Structure 1
Amino acid sequence: MRYYFNVLTSEGVVPDDEGTEFASLGQVCLEAEAGAREILAERLRAGEVIDATTTFEVKDESGTTVHVLPFTAVLLATIGRGRPSAVASGKVHEVGRGSVLSDG
């Protein structure tokens, strides 16, 4: 199935008009994480300001949103607070200096 990785920012939407084929939603989620890290790294290397609202909104061929990944979730996971999907879902709660995944 073909998936489209649209980038949402405070300034608008950067649509993915081509899309990419993936065999599973799990692969889509991993690609979103990798893509967000790559975009963040490029912006950091260039000394650009990072828009905290930047988010991947992944849609399938029918236009249904199947995955949403805020780039802030990737940043938080990168500094040791958990997997981006857990951070994005709100399942990570801070405890002292660490974090804990909740069951819901």
Structure 2
Amino acid sequence: MAKVKKANRVLTVQGNEVASYLKEGYDQIDENGEVLKRATGGRNVSLAEHNKVLDELDELKKASSGVNEIGKELVEEMKKEIKALKSENTKLKKAVEEQKGE
């Protein structure tokens, strides 16, 4: 048995009926009321809501592009630091080998 919800209506339905309820605008939920699958049809969204979501999406894309740039800079800094540490490690290994040879 599966649970589906639309607005404040919660129904318990057979597992093979879930797809038809999703098409009618119901969300499949778990015992805690958390959405497992969103409705695939049967809902209307106002233009204002749609535009609000698009604006939020644009803001998130702009914010993530800034994060990506910072991430790229950090990667470049880390590569330089790794290169310097490898060079230092090689020098120290040579110094140890020279001391063993003496």
TM-score range, shorter chain: under 0.3
The two structures have a TM-score, normalised by structure 1, of: 0.24
When you count strand as a share of all residues, which structure comes out higher? Answer: 1
When you count helix as a share of all residues, which structure comes out higher? Answer: 2
